[in-house]
């Protein structure tokens, strides 16, 4: 995920302090990987340098200075461009799973067993995500569904590979 | 449970040992082992034609296996009379099939109440319990409609209510979301497994869909007539 573009997008609804931005990011997108404060401040420094945000005010008190950031017109244009640009789909051509299957066949190991064990491991994670989704709110559901559909795609590949093992064994021999 | 064979697991609610079932010269089940404990949800997976539904039908006493045994709560199904087996299916077992299989001439609440009426309950009590279960499955608003007048998702929730209303200890679900779209399928699975966990019922869940299987506690994979389990490294069910 592009943290810079995401933080910039969050600023469109109004100016915020770095701490508020971190909290908002973690709530909406952080789930398993909350941002470090250092990441927020280094990203905001970069956006400031590039003219995409400006300092809207500085609070001084007993602690360190707290800058409030606001998005600039150039920043709004940048967010719009980012949202309109499709993400490059992952090609998934360097698959470790595929390499393991081929190596198992080449070395006379149990390739079918490898696929069975991998499917079971995928399903174990799918169970965890399904539990989390069932107990969570709509945002949790969408995040978990995204992961679940990818895991399901992997399992479909595992099952297809299992069906084609004999053929593959003939080709790699 | 790992490392224990189905036959040795005496605490299990249901165990099947060395099940064999032939259709002509084709072996649909070829020494399948299976066990399920009270309150467990077990997914039975495998490709089309692998014998998943045959296994479910043998476990539920709908089909008689050609070899092997099925023990439910300490009793061997094949040793029971037809009447005893029917009583078991009405009282202790609940069933959910892919297309609901509701009685088209009855209203939805009558369909749900039917499970209780068959166990001897009066109409008033049966329909009152049926309404409670329909509310839980979020279909109480269609209680007076016939199955043909409601959506596929509603029909399947009515079928789940019918399966659970008599307080079964074991629910057999055969592709329960197979005819539903993703959102309806997801809701049916949440309601089915949630209600089963609340009541302590075990569920045998036959499915080819891994997203449905993800609602289970563990899975077995039926292949070449055998039920294989990750607990034994897919060398045979525990």
Q: Give the residue-averaged pLDDT of B38-55.
A: 91
Q: With an 8 Å Cβ cutoff, is A120 touching chain B?
A: yes
Cα torsion B222, B227, B232, B238 to 10°: value is 150
Q: Beta strand pairing status for A53-59 and A16-17?
A: unpaired
Tell me which of B45, B187, B210 to substitute to probe the interface with A (most A C-beta atoms closer than 10 Å): B210
Do A68 and A18 share a structural domain?
Answer: yes
Residue A94: per-residue pLDDT: 67
Total domains present in chain A: 2
Is A91 contained in some domain? no
Looking at A32, A53, A84, the residue that finishes a domain is A84
- Cα separation, B9 vs A9, whole angstroms: 58
Is A90 contained in some domain? no
Q: What digits encode the pLDDT tens for the residues B1-24?
A: 444 454 455 579 999 999 999 999
The verdict on a CB contact (< 8 Å) between B215 and A116 is no
Is B236 contained in some domain? no
Q: Which helix (H) or strand (E) holds B218?
A: strand B218-223
Residue B3: per-residue pLDDT: 44
Is A161 contained in some domain? yes
Tell me which of B44, B46, B186, B214 to substitute to probe the interface with A (most A C-beta atoms closer than 10 Å): B214
Is B202 contained in some domain? yes
- B237: pLDDT strictly greater than 70: no
Is B118 contained in some domain? yes
Residue B192: per-residue pLDDT: 93
Residue A109: per-residue pLDDT: 87
- B169: pLDDT strictly greater than 70: yes
User: What is the span of the domain harbouring residue A8?
Assistant: 3-84
In residues, how long is chain B? 238
Q: Give the residue-averaged pLDDT of B205-216.
A: 95
Q: What digits encode the pLDDT tens for the residues B57-69?
A: 999 999 999 999 9
Structure tokens of A8?
Answer: 């910039």
Q: What digits encode the pLDDT tens for the residues B67-105?
A: 999 999 999 998 999 889 888 888 899 999 887 789 999
Looking at A31, A52, A84, the residue that finishes a domain is A84
Is A52 contained in some domain? yes
ipTM of the complex: 0.83
Looking at A38, A54, A84, the residue that finishes a domain is A84
Is B9 contained in some domain? no
Q: With an 8 Å Cβ cutoff, is B40 touching chain A?
A: no
Residue B2: per-residue pLDDT: 42
For the entire predicted model, the pTM comes to 0.83
Is B234 contained in some domain? no
Total domains present in chain B: 1
Residue B10: per-residue pLDDT: 53
Residue A96: per-residue pLDDT: 87
Is A7 contained in some domain? yes
What residues in chain A have per-residue pLDDT under 70? 1, 62-65, 94
């Amino acid at each position: 995920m592009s943290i810079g573009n995401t933080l910039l997008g969050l600023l469109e609804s109004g100016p915020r302090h770095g701490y508020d931005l971190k909290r908002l990011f973690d709530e909406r997108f952080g789930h398993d990987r909350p941002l470090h404060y250092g990441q927020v401040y280094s990203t905001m420094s970069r956006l400031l340098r590039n003219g995409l945000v400006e300092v809207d005010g500085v609070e001084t008190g007993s602690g360190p200075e707290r800058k409030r950031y606001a998005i600039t017109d150039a920043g709004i244009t940048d967010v719009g461009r980012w949202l309109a640009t499709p993400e490059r789909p992952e090609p998934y051509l360097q698959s470790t799973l595929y390499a393991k299957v081929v190596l198992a066949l080449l070395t006379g190991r149990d390739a079918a067993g490898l696929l069975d064990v991998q499917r079971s491991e995928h399903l174990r994670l799918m169970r965890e995500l399904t539990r989390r989704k069932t107990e969570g709110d709509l945002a949790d559901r969408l995040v978990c569904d995204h992961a679940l559909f990818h895991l399901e795609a992997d399992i479909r590949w595992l099952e297809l590979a299992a069906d084609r093992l004999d053929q593959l064994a003939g080709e790699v021999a | 449970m790992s490392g224990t064979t189905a036959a040795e697991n005496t605490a299990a609610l249901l165990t099947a040992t060395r099940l064999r079932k032939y259709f002509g010269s084709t072996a649909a089940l070829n020494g399948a082992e299976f066990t399920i404990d009270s309150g467990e949800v077990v997914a039975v997976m495998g490709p089309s034609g692998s014998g998943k539904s045959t296994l479910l039908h043998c476990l539920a006493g709908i089909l008689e296996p050609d070899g092997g045994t099925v023990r439910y709560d300490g009793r061997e199904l094949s040793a029971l009379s037809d009447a005893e087996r029917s009583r078991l299916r009405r009282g202790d077992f609940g069933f959910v099939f892919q297309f609901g299989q509701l009685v088209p001439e009855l209203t939805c609440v009558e369909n749900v109440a039917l499970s209780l009426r068959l166990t001897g309950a009066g109409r008033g009590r049966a329909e009152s319990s049926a309404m409670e279960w329909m509310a839980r499955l979020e279909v109480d608003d269609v209680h007076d409609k016939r199955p043909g007048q409601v959506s596929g998702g509603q029909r399947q929730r009515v079928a789940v209510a019918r399966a659970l209303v008599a307080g079964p200890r074991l629910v057999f679900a055969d592709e329960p979301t197979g005819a539903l779209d993703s959102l309806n399928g997801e809701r049916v699975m949440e309601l089915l497994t949630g209600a089963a966990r609340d009541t302590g019922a075990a569920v045998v869940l036959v499915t080819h869909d891994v997203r449905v299987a993800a609602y289970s506690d563990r899975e077995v994979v039926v292949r070449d007539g055998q039920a294989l389990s990750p607990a034994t490294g897919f060398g045979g069910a525990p």
